[in-house]
A and B are shown apart, each in its own frame.
Chain A
Amino acid sequence: MDMKVAKKLGLKERYALMTRDLAWDTTYQKMEDVFPQTTYEGIKIHDWDKWEDPFRLTMDAYWKYQSEKERKLYAILDGFNQNNGHLSVTDARYINVLKLFLGSTPPLELMAARGFSMMGRQMNGAGPRVACQMQAVDEYRHFQTQIHSISNYNKYYNGMDEFAHQQSRMWYLSDGKSFFDDAITAGPFEFMVAIGFAFEYVLTNILFVPFISGAAYNGDMAAMTVGFSAQSDEARHMTLGLECIKFMLEQDPDNLPIVQRWIDKWTWRGTRKLASVGMMMDYMLPKRIMSFKEAWEMYVEENGGALFKDLARYGITIPKCFGQTVEEKEHVSHQSWIGFYMKPEATPFHTWIPTPDEMDWLSEKYPNTFDKYYRPVLEYLDAQEKAGNRYNNKTQPMNCQVCVSTMKFNEPGDPMEMCFRESVYKGEKFHTCSDHCKEIFDNEPEKYVQTFISSHQGLQGNCEPDGTDVKAPDFKPGQNMLDYWKLDKRALGDFNGSEDQKNFAAWREQATKN
């Protein structure tokens, strides 16, 4: 496609004319009545015109480039699907990482679209309003393209069809849901730090860059094109988040402590959400390009470190949790995978024990922790499985009141001890997974006491499938969780012996001979 544009004005002039110059201040109504949400968080803004999108992207250019991205993406997706691309992935275990990735991400994209639509209305300045509107459209695009990608896999593999129902009901999807619920119910500036900074800068840099490169390495062109096409928008999203942080800090020195608290809070929330991405990289990709630990060092420690050094001139300090995240990078992916393996009847994707080769790779990548703490557990579980005594934890997990992760992380400095924290609010006890989540809870208890935790609610009889007689004499709460989740029973448990495994083997056989 010929992308040549007849240039009459420079980029800076075009941007000025097409954004700020098209906006106006209201006169029939007071500006503070039209934009009431941007003051109550305590952030002081003196001049909205100081906000500029460094990409200087105008709406006309936005549509042009986004439509070109869509054409490229769907050409690849069609080619992949028409050519039975799903059979060219490394092995059928790989499909399970898609069940987790594509089953958990689209509803979050939709929440991001809703959030940025709100920001596009709530921000006073034309610069952030236009950028937020673009991001809202981007997020909606990601939501749609991810679902289009699911639809092809869903024709062949089990467990992918109820992701929308499961989003607000399943224990392991609650961490992502809670992240967005927390952000969208905060004020507009906190939302921008939560999503624009923590989600885009900390999280998507790992999920959509090394993980997606790993998907390509495993032969999945569909996930590759969907992931990279989304990430081509994320570069703009990260920039928006960073601009928002710099803008707040430049506008008034009183904003510093508020922004610092949000950075501390959301860096930690992003870190907790990444534990499952770590497991996807270390355990669920049959061929791996780098460990989660290496990705963490590249994208969070180095890249995030560069950002915090840069923000130091405004008085921003490294987030309080940083030291703990550095310690945890050697543990969380193993703890997550073992946790999922131990609950074979509670996820619509399969689990397995890594092969001996894969364990050796983990030993090499995690020399300080894998052989010492996690290999013995995996080898024990493997021996039990082979002896016909497959571990099956049928209880409901306990979840953190703030991040809603299951309680599975270790006490700082002691990998053998599980970490719990407790707060009392209005006479009731609430549990959190870490000092950082406890601090978030204690700062806004009225908000977090409302967290809906399905595994806890289930035991109170609040998570029953339609038609359950809760008054029946033999009724026991939490006995019907599989039906409440609408879990496809073919998708449960071990990969070995699963229908997906058999079908994949049979179809690949057909693909090579008559």
Chain B
Amino acid sequence: MSNAFIAFQKNDESRCIVEAILEDNPGAMVDDQPSMVKIDVPNRLVIKRETVSEKMGREFDLQELQLHLITISGNLDETDDEFTLSWNN
């Protein structure tokens, strides 16, 4: 099984996004590096709009992820409610 991962620039908004990922993905591992943070999840990583909105205390559009993203790994599928990275292996 391979890890799907995502990395963000460290800032206040991405802190909320990371909290949401940790809540929605049991088994998520955080790798804290200078000015960036990388989160690995075995096989499938999901970011839910609703959880991020709750952490931020405002409505969040998943396309706002574009502003903070550094890199991703996995096949991507994005809808209004979920941003999913997964490997079929």
On A, residues with C-beta under 8 Å from B are 3-5, 7, 10-12, 54-57, 61, 65, 68-69, 72, 205, 208-210, 213-214, 216-217, 224, 228, 231-232, 234-236, 238-239, 242, 289, 302-303, 305-307, 309-310, 312-313
- Name which residue of chain A comes closest to B7, CB basis: A209
Taking a contact as CB atoms under 8 Å apart, the answer to whether A213 and B68 are in contact is no
On B, residues with C-beta under 8 Å from A are 2-3, 5, 7, 9, 33-36, 58-59, 61, 63-64, 66-80, 87-89
A to B contact number (C-beta, < 8 Å): 101
- Chain B residues contacting A307 (CB-CB under 8 Å) are 73
Q: What is the distance, in angstroms, from B80's C-beta to the closest C-beta of chain A?
A: 5
- Name which residue of chain A comes closest to B84, CB basis: A54
4 nearest interchain CB pairs?
A306-B2, A216-B35, A217-B34, A54-B76
A7 to B73, CA, bound (A): 29
Known contacts A72-B67, A232-B69, A309-B89; decide if A55 and B33 are in contact (CB<8 Å): no
- Chain A residues contacting B58 (CB-CB under 8 Å) are 4
Of A61, A238, A309, A313, the residue contacting B72 (CB under 8 A) is A238
Taking a contact as CB atoms under 8 Å apart, the answer to whether B70 and A209 are in contact is yes
Of B7, B59, B74, B87, the residue contacting A4 (CB under 8 A) is B59
Taking a contact as CB atoms under 8 Å apart, the answer to whether B78 and A3 are in contact is no
A107 to B73, CA, bound (A): 27
Of B5, B33, B61, B72, the residue contacting A5 (CB under 8 A) is B61
Taking a contact as CB atoms under 8 Å apart, the answer to whether A228 and B70 are in contact is yes
Known contacts A209-B70, A231-B71; decide if A309 and B2 are in contact (CB<8 Å): yes
Taking a contact as CB atoms under 8 Å apart, the answer to whether B63 and A61 are in contact is yes
A236 to B64, CA, bound (A): 13
Taking a contact as CB atoms under 8 Å apart, the answer to whether B73 and A303 are in contact is yes
Of A10, A231, A234, A236, the residue contacting B80 (CB under 8 A) is A10
- Name which residue of chain B comes closest to A69, CB basis: B67
Q: What is the distance, in angstroms, from B69's C-beta to the closest C-beta of chain A?
A: 5
Taking a contact as CB atoms under 8 Å apart, the answer to whether B78 and A54 are in contact is yes
Taking a contact as CB atoms under 8 Å apart, the answer to whether B3 and A306 are in contact is yes
Of B71, B75, B78, the residue contacting A205 (CB under 8 A) is B71
A302 to B40, CA, bound (A): 12
Taking a contact as CB atoms under 8 Å apart, the answer to whether B70 and A231 are in contact is yes
Of A10, A57, A235, A313, the residue contacting B63 (CB under 8 A) is A57
- Chain A residues contacting B88 (CB-CB under 8 Å) are 310, 313
Taking a contact as CB atoms under 8 Å apart, the answer to whether A7 and B80 are in contact is yes
Known contacts A65-B67, A234-B71, A235-B70; decide if A309 and B87 are in contact (CB<8 Å): yes
- Chain B residues contacting A217 (CB-CB under 8 Å) are 34-35
